[in-house]
A = this chain, B = another copy of it.
Amino acid sequence: MHPCSACTVRTLTVCAALEAEELRRLAEILQTTRFDAGHTVFGEGDPAETLYNVTSGTVKVYKLLPDGRRQITGFLLPGDFFGLSVNDSYAYTAETVTPVSLCRFPRRRMEALLDEFPKMQRRLFSMASNELAAAQDQMLLLGRKTAKEKICSFLLLLSQRASRRGHKTNPVHVPMSRADIADYLGLTTETVSRTFTQLKTSRVISLLEGNKVQIQDMDDLLDLAEGA
């Protein structure tokens, strides 16, 4: 019995569509770990020796400017992969938002496995393509959307991602702080807060207990997210 057999996100990630034999080989090189909230998994510039897969919780990845300005380039949910690097060091920092469970894959051994199982390689490529498409959406958001459109897009994104993981789309769980949301959307915490208030006042959303946001009118939100 290896841990993968109980893995609830296997279908979402690189492990999907592996044969029993392939899965066994993957499980051989894999380690599982847990971290508390607020733990730095690796820092920008650290030697990139490990690949990670989120199995529970939320991770944020971000880049910094010398003066401390921060851009969060993604929130990683169960099933998401991270730790790929172009040269031999990570190009960003990865930090847990909530308590998190991770699978660790030593990079070298993972690369060997990818060469051996083209199906896995292909799956990873497909995941990278998806990420690329998401990155392009995010560029449109950062470069051209207003604060209100950004917040609405963000809520929709969380809702859609929850849906893909088989959770209910509404209300949507928002585990990250206002500061994290701000750094993801290219805003300040104050603007994020004001915009939430504004959306609440105009009855598009309401804020529930436990960091949950109830979407009152999904169609309104979809229009608001694109400025229509």
Contact = CB atoms under 8 A, between A and B. Distances in A.
A147 interface: no
A113 B130 CA distance: 21
Interface in A118-156: 118, 121-122, 124-126, 128-133, 135-140, 142-145
A118 to B, nearest CB: 4
A126 B128 CA distance: 10
Interface stretch (A26-34, A68-76, A99-107, A211-219): A68-76
A145 B86 CA distance: 23
Interface in A63-120: 63, 65-67, 69-71, 73, 84-86, 91-92, 114-115, 118
Contact of A226 (B65, B73, B92): B65
The size class of the interface chain A forms with chain B is: 35 or more
Contact of A132 (B66, B118, B135, B142): B135
A86 B73 CA distance: 20
A45 interface: no
A54 interface: no
- Which of the listed residues A66, A92, A118, A137 has the most CB atoms from chain B within 10 Å of its own CB? A118
Contacts of A139: 63, 71, 73, 135, 138-139, 142
Contact of A140 (B71, B185, B227): B71
Q: Which of A71, A122, A143, A183 has the most CB of B within 10 A?
A: A143
A186 interface: yes
Interface of A: 63, 65-67, 69-71, 73, 84-86, 91-92, 114-115, 118, 121-122, 124-126, 128-133, 135-140, 142-145, 183, 185-186, 226-228
15 contacts: A63-B136, A66-B227, A69-B227, A70-B144, A73-B139, A85-B133, A86-B126, A86-B130, A91-B136, A92-B136, A125-B128, A128-B128, A142-B142, A143-B185, A144-B186
Given A65-B140, A73-B136, A143-B185, 5 more contacts: A65-B144, A66-B227, A92-B136, A124-B125, A125-B125
